[in-house]
């Protein structure tokens, strides 16, 4: 099988003698007990801002190895550098990390041309097709190109689909791109595509600002996470430029520390995570599309069939250039053949009307919470929620269909605020955030469009929030349910907010800030 070929490539790189002592080793001893050897720890350099897209792979390695291999991740590797992915590849080659993970887009800048078909414009336009390609023999063939840099490919994980994001005008047909500066992470194929459309490609770092650009290629998750919807006004949802898959790769010297079975675990874990990761991406696109829709900052637009055909014609010079390499041309042909078996993926849509002004409710007033790390842990908070922004004194004001809060935790140098629209129907309460901010050491503030729903009960001045039936902990903030809210006034007022970080003056339209 293709995975075996990738492992056997290690022998061709001169590692056979080093690995002989470990060949055939297992996580179990002859008596059936667990191997008492200390787990092998592999350091993984991650160019992304978090580990969400590789958590499945990391968990699979631990599970399949029986705990004999553990991966420790350093995220934000070379963060905010335009060439962060190329630099990360060089660092793994130099032994500064055992493993690395970067986008497939990065490799052609270093002379590895075997993965360019994944970035061909308008070719892979659905998660289903991306998954099928990465489960086909094409994946192993693409990874073979890493050997030219002395690296070993372990697998390719699916990544988010990327759409045209217009700052001041919609990016529909080719004429809409003419003369604009279009931002993208470093990619030779992507740059050639935007030049073919009459635009000037501008490389900028992952998560970097898009101010001053005419547009960018971005996924729904990154638009919401980086709040690009506060700058850009138009997302073309039926034009998928390309996906952004991630390549898992290793320094051969690091793999020499593993047994043969452990090396197989790394490749098997990557293969096993492809369908899991695809499902995660689909779910996250759905959630983040809803958040962007509810933020009311950005329009979802669609290109007409005429504009779509014009785009396809305009990017033909890019395909002509890719076709000069016989291997890339063959890969593109195979992907086009696979595409015939898949229906067009429905475009993200948004048809919400702006929220109507709320009415007074029985909950109007001022409330306070005192939150600690212990109370969050007791309530089942995830590790990502154990941050200074979720600790300290919370002051909430509910007022005629609106809410606002301030949070202050001096020891953690955190002082944040948030506000939005409040809906109370019976014993169900929904918060729709308009914005959030303040002094945030980890960046954990609320964003426009976030929506959370709770069941509530009130008794003798105490408001208690609970998760609705069927809601999974983690989809709603644990801080809201960790401790009760103590009502300190039945009259909404501004004076109780933290002095160092009150919400903006327009947070509660009926009160003066």
pLDDT digits over 462-480, tens only? Answer: 999 999 987 766 678 899 9
CATH code, domain with 145:
3.40.190.170
Angle (CA) 240-245-248 rounded to 5° is: 180
Question: Are residue 151 and residue 166 in the same domain, yes or no?
Answer: no
Question: Domain for residue 101, yes or no?
Answer: yes
Question: Domain for residue 342, yes or no?
Answer: no
Question: Domain for residue 500, yes or no?
Answer: no
Question: Are residue 443 and residue 384 in the same domain, yes or no?
Answer: yes
Q: Of all residues in the chain, what percent are helix, strand and coil, respectively (each to 5)?
A: 35, 25, 40
Kindly report the number of other CB atoms within 10 A of residue 76's CB atom. 15
Question: Are residue 43 and residue 131 in the same domain, yes or no?
Answer: yes
Alpha helices in 229-365 (DSSP H): 252-255, 260-295, 305-314, 316-322, 326-339
Question: Are residue 131 and residue 220 in the same domain, yes or no?
Answer: no
Kindly report the number of other CB atoms within 10 A of residue 475's CB atom. 10
Phi and psi based region of residue 147 (left: phi greater than 0; alpha: psi -120 to 50; beta: remaining): alpha
In DSSP notation, 379-419 reads: TT--GGG-SGGGSEEEEEEEETTEEEEEEEEGGGTEEEEEE
Structural domain containing residue 408: 365-489
With CA atoms as reference, report the closest residue to 328 among 189, 127, 158: 189
Q: How many domains does the chain have?
A: 3
Tell me the pLDDT of the chain (513 aa) as tens digits: 232 333 333 333 333 323 323 333 333 333 334 444 689 999 999 999 999 999 999 999 999 999 999 999 999 999 999 999 999 999 999 999 999 999 999 999 999 999 999 999 999 999 999 999 999 999 999 999 999 999 999 999 999 999 999 999 999 999 999 999 999 999 999 999 999 999 999 999 999 999 999 999 999 999 998 999 999 999 999 999 999 999 999 999 999 999 999 999 999 999 999 999 999 999 999 989 988 988 778 999 999 999 999 999 999 999 999 999 999 999 999 999 999 999 888 998 887 655 555 677 889 999 999 999 999 999 998 888 999 999 999 999 999 999 999 999 999 999 999 999 999 988 999 999 999 999 999 989 999 999 999 999 999 999 999 999 877 666 788 999 999 999 999 999 999 999 999 999 999 987 866
Output the pLDDT for position 165. 98
Question: Domain for residue 496, yes or no?
Answer: no
With CA atoms as reference, report the closest residue to 295 among 347, 354, 237, 349: 354
β-pair partners for 455: 428, 466
The 3-state DSSP class for residue 299 equals strand
- Roughly how many angstroms between the first and final C-alpha of the chain, as a whole number? 67
pLDDT digits over 69-81, tens only? Answer: 999 999 999 999 9
Question: Are residue 173 and residue 57 in the same domain, yes or no?
Answer: no
The 3-state DSSP class for residue 458 equals strand
**pTM for the whole thing?**
0.74
Question: Are residue 230 and residue 256 in the same domain, yes or no?
Answer: no
């Amino acid at each position: 099988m293709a995975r075996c070929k990738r492992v056997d490539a290690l022998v061709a790189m001169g590692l056979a003698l080093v690995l002989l002592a470990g060949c055939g080793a297992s996580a179990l001893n002859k008596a059936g007990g667990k191997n008492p050897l200390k787990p092998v720890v592999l350091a993984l350099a991650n160019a992304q801002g978090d580990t969400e897209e590789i958590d499945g792979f990391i968990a699979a390695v631990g599970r399949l190895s029986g705990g004999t291999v553990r991966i420790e991740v350093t995220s934000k590797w070379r963060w905010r550098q335009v060439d962060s992915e190329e630099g990360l590849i060089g660092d793994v080659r130099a032994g500064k990390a055992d493993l690395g993970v970067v986008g497939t887009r990065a490799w052609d800048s270093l002379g590895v041309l075997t993965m360019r078909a994944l970035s061909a414009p308008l070719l892979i336009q659905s998660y289903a097709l991306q998954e099928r390609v990465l489960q086909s023999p094409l994946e192993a063939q693409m990874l073979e190109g890493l050997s030219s840099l002395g690296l070993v490919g372990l697998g390719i994980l699916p990544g988010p689909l990327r759409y045209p994001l217009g700052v001041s005008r919609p990016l529909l047909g080719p004429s809409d791109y003419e003369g604009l500066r279009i931002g993208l992470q470093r990619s030779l194929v992507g740059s050639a595509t935007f030049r073919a459309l009459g635009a000037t490609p501008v490389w900028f770092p992952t998560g970097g600002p898009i101010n001053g650009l005419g547009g960018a290629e971005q996924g729904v998750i990154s638009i919401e996470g980086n709040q690009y919807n506060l700058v850009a006004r138009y997302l073309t949802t039926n034009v998928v430029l390309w996906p952004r898959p991630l390549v898992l790769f290793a320094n051969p010297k690091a793999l020499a520390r593993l047994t043969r079975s452990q090396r197989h675990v790394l490749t098997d874990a990557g293969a096993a995570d492809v369908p899991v990761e695809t499902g995660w991406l689909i779910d996250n696109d759905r959630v983040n599309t809803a958040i962007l829709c509810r933020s009311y900052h950005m329009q979802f637009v669609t290109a007409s069939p005429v504009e779509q055909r014009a785009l396809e014609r305009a990017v033909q010079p890019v395909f002509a250039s890719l076709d000069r390499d016989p291997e890339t041309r063959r890969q593109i042909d195979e992907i086009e053949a696979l595409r015939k078996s898949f229906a067009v993926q429905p475009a993200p849509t948004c048809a919400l009307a702006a929220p109507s002004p709320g009415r007074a409710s029985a909950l109007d007033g001022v409330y306070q919470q005192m939150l600690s790390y212990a109370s969050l842990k007791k309530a089942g908070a995830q590790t990502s929620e154990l941050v200074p922004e979720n600790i300290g004194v919370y002051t909430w004001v509910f007022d005629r269909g609106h809410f606002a809060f301030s949070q202050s935790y001096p020891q953690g140098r955190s002082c944040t605020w948030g506000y939005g629209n409040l809906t109370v129907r019976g014993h169900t309460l929904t918060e729709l955030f308009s914005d959030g901010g303040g002094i945030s050491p980890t960046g954990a503030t609320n964003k426009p469009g976030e929506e959370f729903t709770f069941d509530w009960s009130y008794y003798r001045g105490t408001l208690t929030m609970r998760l609705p039936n069927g809601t999974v902990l983690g989809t709603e903030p644990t801080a809201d349910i960790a401790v009760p809210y103590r009502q300190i006034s039945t009259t909404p007022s501004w004076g109780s907010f933290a002095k160092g970080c009150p919400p903006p003056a327009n947070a509660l339209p009926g009160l003066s800030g």
